[in-house]
Copies of this chain bind each other. A is one copy, B any other.
Amino acid sequence: MIGRLNHVAIAVPDLEAAAAQYRDTLGAEVGAPQDELDHGVTVVFITLPNTKIELLYPLGDASPIRGFLEKNPAGGIHHICYEVDDILAARDRLKADGARVLGDGEPRIGAHGKPVLFLHPKDFNGCLIELEEV
């Protein structure tokens, strides 16, 4: 069911410093910061040859990243995203197997303009998983 690893998302306490580090110290291809108002994050995309890293920084008071950074002031890996062909079929299979889908269980439009869902980390080895339909 799951396909490619679409991205690894890392919450960072200083977006400019983290972007500069990936560009200058790690020598990666780093994009410009993009505000994603609907998702409460400013994102910097790092393009690797086979996948992406997304640096996340809180945008707005209701940002889902804010609480994460309060618990992890140095930052940390926030989630990983797997691609699926059919997000509703994926959701139904997961729910049938007892996995919890976050929110109301309906896909939202994610940061890439595609339908996404998040799965409960307690059901997946402490790992927050995003599914994105591609």
Known A74-B125, A77-B80; contact A26-B2, beta-carbon cutoff 8 A? yes
Contact with B along A96-134 (1 / 0, CB 8 A): 010100000000000000000000011011110000000
Chain A at the B interface: mostly helix, strand, loop or mixed?
A: loop
Residue pair B126, A72 in contact (C-beta under 8 Å): yes
Sorted nearest first, the 10 A-B pairs with minimum C-beta distance are: A1-B27, A75-B125, A74-B126, A76-B126, A75-B126, A25-B97, A50-B50, A12-B125, A77-B77, A4-B50
Mark A residues whose CB is within 8 Å of B.
1-5, 8, 10-13, 18, 21, 24-28, 48-51, 53, 55, 72, 74-77, 80, 82, 93-94, 97, 99, 121-122, 124-127
